[in-house]
Amino acid sequence: MTDGASRADLSSLLEVEIAPELLELALTHRSFAYENGGSNNERLEFLGDSILGQAVTVMLFTEHPDLDEGELAKRRASLVSTVALAEIARSIGLGQYLRVGRGEELTGGRDKSSMLADTVEAIIGAAYLSRGGDEATALVHRLIAPLLADPERFGATMDPKTSLQELSARRSLGAPSYVIVDSGPDHLKRFHATVIVGGDEIATGTGSSKKQAEVAAALEAWTRLTRTSA
């Protein structure tokens, strides 16, 4: 964790009391464990992913009796996506609490969408082990509430590329374009997307596929353009 970022601060933000050792583990990326020894958060991530999916599924089913299976599945996929979870993580400043290795620190790992999303899931898993299913589910609801409370942002999270294209058209900026580069070995390749709008490089995104990188870049571009708007 960076200076000034304590587990107590994070617990207060999350509004749930997670056992200190579990919270520390949830914040530990494999790069830190590799360099310093000990365990990483991947098992907690596995657990949290399951809890997240169930909580979101039940919530959508209960609160939207008018939606058919296809629309429910679409909304669930959006809310549990890497893009949405990374957005949630950034909204609470989660990156400053991560325990990452030196290499990840130097390459901006604290703001990588995949790392942030995985950590959110690990925290949900830690909350389940610390406080049980009801409080873990309540945590999920609190985390996704800001997305649901902002219909325009929720729409952007569901389909960032389309939302960015529509926003660009409204501002007469032309269609967004994407420049993709990749790095790493074939079995562990990472893709980096830069989105260009109106001739300017607006934002970047990373992912394990070209599509994931473009989606991450599109949401970041949409966010920046809406902040400079109106």
**Annotated binding-site ranges for Mg(2+):** 45, 118, 121
Q: How many CA atoms lie within 13 A of 118 on its CB side?
A: 21
Cα 214 to chain centroid, rounded = 14
Nearest to 221 by CA among 173, 184, 185: 173
Residue 214 bears catalytic tag: no
List strands edge to edge, sheet with 190-197: 177-183, 190-197, 200-207
Pick the catalytic residue: 49, 104, 214, 220? 49
Distance CA(158)–CA(150), nearest Å, equals 12
Known binding residues are: 45, 118, 121
Quick check: is 135 catalytic? no
The catalytic residue among 9, 66, 104, 121 is 121
Angle 86-46-38 from CA coordinates, rounded to 5°: 95
Residues carrying an active site annotation: 49, 121
